[in-house]
Amino acid sequence: MTKEEKDNLFLLIKSLTKSEKRQFKLYVGRLGGNADSKFLNLFNLLDKATTYNEKEILKTGLVKKQQLANVKAHLYKQILISLKLNPFHQNIRSQIREQLDFASILYHKGLYKQSLKVLDKSKEIAFNHEEKNLAYEIVELEKIIESQYITRSISNRADTLIAEAERLSKLNVLASKLSNLSLQLYSIILKSGYVKNDSEKKEISTYFYNQLPKLDIQTIGFREKLWLYNANLWYNFLIQDFTACYKYSKKWVDLFNEYPQMISLNPVSFLKGNQYLLEALFFIRDHKRYEAALQNFEFKTSDKSFPKDDNIEGLSFLYLKTNRLNLYFMQGRFSEGLHEVAGILKGLDRFKNRIDEHHVMVFYYKIASLYFGVGNYKLCVFYLDKIISNKSLSMREDLMCFSRVLNLFAHYEAGLDYNFDALLRETYKFLIKMDELNEVQNEMINFIKSLQDLYPQNIKKAFIDLHTKLKQFENDPYERRAFLYLDIISWLESRIHNIPVDQVIRNKYLAEIEISNKKMAN
């Protein structure tokens, strides 16, 4: 990433829409003295610039070097204030905070009744929208006012406020514990991937149940349930219980169906819930539910009433494109999936400042897998190299692992054997260092290594032998994760029967659909 891209002010200005820029100029122009101000001139300069270059800014003479930092800080603040005043960026939370500020002003002016009236209305809105942190702040201010000005309108006013404060405090603590647990589990899965053995599973399970707070599902609200389902989801992803993942992601999505007004207030959580639902269905290979869930997801996000902003557009692109690719993988439609690649690369460039690098690498892996599936091994290697050569981030170990394993197979298939021994040694070294070498990977790498010494007439038998060995791991709870990233079983079957790998996967998909239809008919 270049130095210019790291300048926060420049990035903020480049993120503004035409209407936001127009509003900013109207906002700063409300006072005549701002017309030729340094910060406005700097805004116009950076708005026209394609890159941030401090030397070029100073050459214009708009601002002296010793003034630049202060002018930039002031401009940054004025842009944020302008955006805050934009109705597009206002929601229930901002409205409640605004009313809380108004109530505080009225209180400090001694207008207690007016302040309490504003607080009472704001508290009702906060309760209705599950904004319990804000509701707690409101109750605390009410308590302060009541301690100085007793309205006597309700005889048990003090008891009521104390009870509200205690209830909100308990719910806020519960939500905090659940969100902390969820975040910790998410951190573990990003760093280490799925559990690899019984010992790791026991360790994760002990941690999860020790940290999971006791609660009564009947007494908690939307926010607490959301974090509860989130924590359970990540726990079950870690231990690879994908059926349970489906259960909790479905509860997550159904929660928004139960509280539809929460979609506009929590659009990111809505998007993530649907993403996890689709991911779980992908792992358990429930084709029909997957297609229905994806169709429903696309319908809701394309609806005019669905919230729209830069962050939501970036996440919608990320989740919809990811799951469309997964649908092509499930159905063995690799060639059709390649039609998505140009749009994905364009989107990655458009949202480069909003999509984290880990998810960019996941896209590269999926694109490489598409090319592997259609037999374009050189392009497969090209996209895998983007992952393997990336030294600037720590990503999930399983992604790095299988990128290197797939890279070995792609080099073998492409006939790129001029440095194959060195590549094999490098892969071994990397996997052993990661402590990631499981039985499936051992068998695959040993197989590739042995191919160099096999006579052509013995290769098919070697494919059959490896297929037999790997089939026993297909449903193993700790080995099967290899097949989530690399469908080596289908690749072997394609080599054994001399048919394209995408056709092998397509045939399996059609067979599964036929079995499913027969079960429904009976």
Reading the block at residue 32, the tokens are 């005549």
Q: What whole-number distance in Å separates Cα of residue 464 and Cα of residue 39?
A: 71
Q: Is residue 492 part of a domain?
A: yes
Q: What whole-number distance in Å separates Cα of residue 324 and Cα of residue 328?
A: 7
**One domain for residues 23 and 60:** yes
**One domain for residues 96 and 70:** no
Q: Is residue 272 part of a domain?
A: no
Domain that includes residue 493, residue range: 401-522
Question: 386-389, long-range: CB within 8 Å, 24+ apart, which pairs?
Answer: 386/361, 387/361
Reading the block at residue 509, the tokens are 């998909």
Better-predicted residue by pLDDT, 483 or 306:
306
- What confidence tens digit (pLDDT) does each residue in 432-441 have? 776 656 788 7
Q: Is residue 383 part of a domain?
A: no
Interval 80-104 mean pLDDT? 85
**One domain for residues 456 and 411:** yes
Run of H or E residues at 380: helix 377-388
> Given this model, what pLDDT does residue 3 score?
39
- What confidence tens digit (pLDDT) does each residue in 458-495 have? 888 888 998 998 888 888 887 877 777 778 888 888 88
Which residues have C-beta within 8 Å of that of residue 122, sequence separation ≥ 6?
Answer: 96, 99, 100, 103, 134, 138
Q: What whole-number distance in Å separates Cα of residue 187 and Cα of residue 396?
A: 10
> Given this model, what pLDDT does residue 390 score?
85
> Given this model, what pLDDT does residue 33 score?
55
Per-residue buried b or exposed e for 70-95, using 16+ beta carbons within 10 Å of the residue's own CB = ebbeebeebbeebbeeeeeeeebeee
Q: Is residue 321 part of a domain?
A: no
Q: What whole-number distance in Å separates Cα of residue 228 and Cα of residue 248?
A: 9
Lowest mean pLDDT among 151-165, 297-311, 338-352: 151-165
Interval 256-273 mean pLDDT? 92
User: For the chain, how many structural domains are there in total?
Assistant: 3
Asked if residue 71 has pLDDT above 70, the reply is yes
**One domain for residues 81 and 103:** no
Domain end, chosen from 128, 153, 178, is at: 153
**One domain for residues 82 and 19:** yes
Reading the block at residue 152, the tokens are 């006597």
pLDDT-derived band at 421 (thresholds 50, 70, 90) equals: confident
**One domain for residues 434 and 484:** yes
CB–CB of 479/473 below 8 Å? yes
CB–CB of 283/505 below 8 Å? no
Q: Give the C-alpha distances (Å, rounded to integers) separating 193 from 260, 277, 441.
A: 33, 18, 15
Q: Is residue 519 part of a domain?
A: yes
Q: Is residue 67 part of a domain?
A: yes
Interval 249-262 mean pLDDT? 94
CA dihedral 482, 487, 488, 493 (to 10 degrees): 150
Q: What whole-number distance in Å separates Cα of residue 136 and Cα of residue 100?
A: 11
Interval 179-204 mean pLDDT? 87
- Percent of the chain, pLDDT > 90? 40
Asked if residue 308 has pLDDT above 90, the reply is no
**One domain for residues 65 and 118:** no
**One domain for residues 29 and 52:** yes
> Given this model, what pLDDT does residue 122 score?
93
**One domain for residues 411 and 507:** yes
Q: Is residue 191 part of a domain?
A: no
By residue count, the chain amounts to 522
**One domain for residues 434 and 514:** yes
**One domain for residues 463 and 490:** yes
Which residues have C-beta within 8 Å of that of residue 40, sequence separation ≥ 6?
Answer: 25, 28, 34, 75
Helix (H, G, I), strand (E, B) or coil at 49: coil
Q: What whole-number distance in Å separates Cα of residue 515 and Cα of residue 333?
A: 20
Q: What whole-number distance in Å separates Cα of residue 222 and Cα of residue 14?
A: 36
- Percent of the chain, pLDDT > 70? 92
Domain end, chosen from 50, 66, 89, is at: 89
Q: What whole-number distance in Å separates Cα of residue 107 and Cα of residue 113?
A: 9
| Cα atoms found within 13 Å of the Cα of residue 120, Cβ hemisphere only | 10
> Given this model, what pLDDT does residue 178 score?
95
pLDDT-derived band at 322 (thresholds 50, 70, 90) equals: very high
CB–CB of 348/328 below 8 Å? no
- Residue among 343, 264, 274 nearest 303 (CA): 264
- What confidence tens digit (pLDDT) does each residue in 11-28 have? 899 888 888 898 888 888
- What confidence tens digit (pLDDT) does each residue in 368-381 have? 999 999 999 999 99
Q: Is residue 175 part of a domain?
A: no
Interval 440-457 mean pLDDT? 76
**One domain for residues 411 and 470:** yes
